Amino acid sequence: MDTLISVIIAVVVSLFFVRGYLKKLTAKAAPRAAAAPAPVAMHPCPRCSQPIPKTSSFCSHCGAALAMWTVHRAEITTSSGDAKGKPKPVINASLCVGCGGCIEVCPEVGAMELIQGKAILTHPELCTGHAKCAEACPTNAIAYAYDGVLQTVKVPNVKEDFETNVSGLYIVGELGGMGLIKTAINEGKLAIDYVRQRLQAETGKSGAPDDAFDVAIVGAGPAGLSASLSAHQYDLHYITLEQGEIASTIRNYPRHKFLMAEPLSIPLYGNLYIADSSKEALLAVWETIVQNTGVRIQTNERLERVQRNGSGFHVESSKRKYYARYVVLALGRRGSARKLSVPGEELSKVAHRLIEAETYEDKNVLVVGGGDSAIEAAIALGRAGKNRVTLSYRGADFKRARERNQHFLEAAEKESKLRVVRRSNLVEILPASVAIDVQGAREEIPNDYVFILIGGESPEEFLTKMGVEIVEKSLQPTPTFS
């Protein structure tokens, strides 16, 4: 009997403790259920259409890097209106390649610094709003904010498949708003994937002329080159036009520029790792790729016009007309320099851009133009070495240029650092001299180099003529390191 009573007491006591323990467990579980994470906001991957979290930086299904669509997915906004106050730079850390260009041009020493390879406004109190850094940034990583309100940027209205409002006309690379070699390469590749899908869906139904190209690719920078390699790989009937040489923008970087990039996959080549490499090394790889693959690029052929016609486009170049079902524009953002069309302009000593003034020494140099770039180039060439610089301008004064540059020019002229010939026109370029017309009289000057810096057509003007809609977008900067 005693044993039975002991067992009953033991069972009751155990039940008491078990009940207490179960109560505690339920109490713990309840708040956990209340704090259960909200459902993750999803959206379709622009490449494979599978649902992915909105916060993802890459697609877990197809591996696409979603930063590529930052501009395409940004909302169209209206202009930030009358900008008030001084502009302050806002740096997009994922676009910054750490070249230091912004820091070099900033007159306020110490306002910006490079930290872990990224430009940072470390001392905002020193920034007085010269607004030179954004101009100098090669990757469009800097936007301005006025009184904390981010300025809008003008970009072509491009959908997530890189097609514009003009059906069949695609824009890839820096022209679309994202400035980096890796994004340009990836976009070029993807645009051709989309074009190929459409061509396959339309087989036999296009009604295009027999000699029509499947696709005309314009520009042979990283974006156009990778689009051309993809078209070559898929055996499409393609044509690629390049106004200068292959990869002109990269060719024109300052000598031995360090390229900050990540490994990436190039069509028909495989993985390319260009981080911490010089531009010379990258150009050498690209030249090898072009030679080994046999990809066809028509250099020194400039696109003049594109017009939608029937089931495709009339594509007019500086040499001839073509018909193409689709057009992929990979023109970059440096635009096309205006030419004078004078005899001798094709000589190799003639340039339409000055890259490194210090490399010219003890030379006879002619600079043509009356705007800021011509004045800045003439002053830099006059100052850099002991060059004999002549600045020829068709106008009587330099009112078009910034006041500051006008003062610098006056001072340089007074100190005989350069010669300014107003109301003059360049009429002929010869191998060792140039001829200028000074109010009806021909003057011949010894010459080693000519810089024709008379402006050019901006990409926006070019696109507007083709009917491409240009919109304003406010791009939020990605967080930078602190």
Ligand X SMILES: Cc1cc2nc3c(=O)[nH]c(=O)nc-3n(C[C@H](O)[C@H](O)[C@H](O)COP(=O)(O)OP(=O)(O)OC[C@H]3O[C@@H](n4cnc5c(N)ncnc54)[C@H](O)[C@@H]3O)c2cc1C
Contacts to ligand SF4 by CB under 6 A: 91, 96-102, 119, 136-137, 139, 141-142
Q: Of 233, 248, 278, 293, which one interacts with ligand X (CB under 6 A)? A: 248
Neighbours of 214 (CB within 10 A): 22
Name the CA dihedral angle for 123, 124, 128, 133, rounded to a multiple of 10 degrees: 80
CB of 382 to ligand SF4, least distance (A): 26
User: With binding defined as CB under 6 A, does residue 370 bind ligand X?
Assistant: no
Minimum CB distance to ligand X smaller for 330 or for 366: 330
Q: Is 244 in the site for ligand X (CB under 6 A)?
A: yes
| 172, 177, 179, 183 alpha-carbon torsion, rounded to 10° | -40
138: contact with ligand X by CB under 6 A: yes
Pick what 221 binds: ligand X, ligand SF4, none; C-beta below 5 to 8 Å, kind-dependent.
Answer: ligand X
Contact status: 130 vs ligand X (CB under 6 A): no
- Amino acid identity of residue 408, one-letter, is F
Query: Is residue 155 at the binding interface for ligand X, with CB under 6 A as the rule?
Result: no
Q: What is the CA radius of gyration of the chain?
A: 30
70, 243, 373, 480: which one binds ligand X (CB under 6 A): 243
Minimum CB separation of residue 135 from ligand SF4 in Å reads 10
Q: How far is CA 345 from CA 233, 334, 445, in A?
A: 37, 20, 16
- Structure-block tokens of residue 414: 């007074």
Do residues 226 and 173 touch, judged by C-beta distance below 8 A? no
Q: Choose among ligand SF4, ligand X, none what residue 119 binds, the Cβ cut-off being 5 to 8 Å by kind.
A: ligand SF4
Amino acid letter, 209: P
236 sits near ligand X (criterion: CB under 6 A): no
Q: Which is nearer to ligand X, 142 or 426 (CB)?
A: 142
Residues 6+ apart with CB under 8 A from 3: none
- Using alpha carbons only, give the angle 411, 377, 132 rounded to the nearest 5 degrees: 90
Pairing of strands 213-218, 321-329: parallel
User: For residues 180 and 401, which CB has a smaller minimum distance to ligand SF4 in the complex?
Assistant: 180
Per partner kind, with CB cut-offs from 5 to 8 A, the member of ligand SF4, ligand X, none near residue 141 is ligand SF4
| Residue 44 DSSP SS3 | strand
Neighbours of 428 (CB within 10 A): 15
Give 358: exposed, middle or buried? Use CB within 10 Å, 0-12, 13-18, 19+: exposed
Strands (DSSP E) contained in 188-341 are 213-218, 238-241, 258-259, 264-266, 270-272, 277-278, 303-309, 312-317, 321-329, 336-337
293 binds, among ligand X, ligand SF4, none (CB under 5 to 8 A by kind): none
Provide the minimum distance between the beta carbon of 182 and ligand SF4 in the complex, in angstroms, as a whole number.
Answer: 14
Going from the C-alpha of 412 to that of each of 123, 312, 383, 393, 420, the distances in angstroms are: 34, 54, 9, 16, 10
Shortest Cβ distance from residue 232 to ligand SF4 (Å)?
A: 31
Contact with ligand X (CB under 6 A) among 46, 168, 332, 370: 332
66 binds, among ligand SF4, ligand X, none (CB under 5 to 8 A by kind): none
What is the nearest approach in angstroms of ligand X to the Cβ of residue 273?
13
Pairing verdict, β 87-91 and 142-146: antiparallel
State yes or no: residue 163 binds ligand X (CB under 6 A).
no
- When asked if residue 344 is in the footprint of ligand X (CB under 6 A), the reply is no
Q: Which does 96 bind (CB under 5 to 8 A by kind): ligand X, ligand SF4, none?
A: ligand SF4
Sign of CA dihedral 287, 293, 299, 303: negative
Lay out the site mask for ligand X across 74-113 (x = CB under 6 A, - = otherwise).
Answer: -----------------------x-x--------------
- Among positions 294-313, residues that touch ligand X (CB under 6 A) are 302-303
Selection from ligand SF4, ligand X, none that 334 binds (CB < 5 to 8 A by kind) is: ligand X
Nearer to ligand SF4, 104 or 444 (CB): 104
Interior/surface letters 390-415, b for 16+ CB within 10 angstroms, e for the rest: bbbbeeeebebbeeebbebbeebbee
What is the sign of the dihedral through the CA atoms of 203, 209, 210 and 214?
Answer: negative
Total interface residues for ligand X by CB under 6 A: 38
- The interface partner of residue 166, options being ligand SF4, ligand X, none and the CB cut-off 5 to 8 Å by kind, is none
Q: Pick one of 155, 180, 212, 229: the residue that binds ligand X (CB under 6 A).
A: 180
Residue span binding ligand X (CB under 6 A) among the ranges 39-47, 167-175, 319-327, 339-347: 167-175
Residues interacting with ligand X, by CB under 6 A? 97, 99, 138-139, 173-175, 179-182, 184, 218-224, 241-244, 248-250, 253, 257, 259-261, 302-303, 330-332, 334, 336
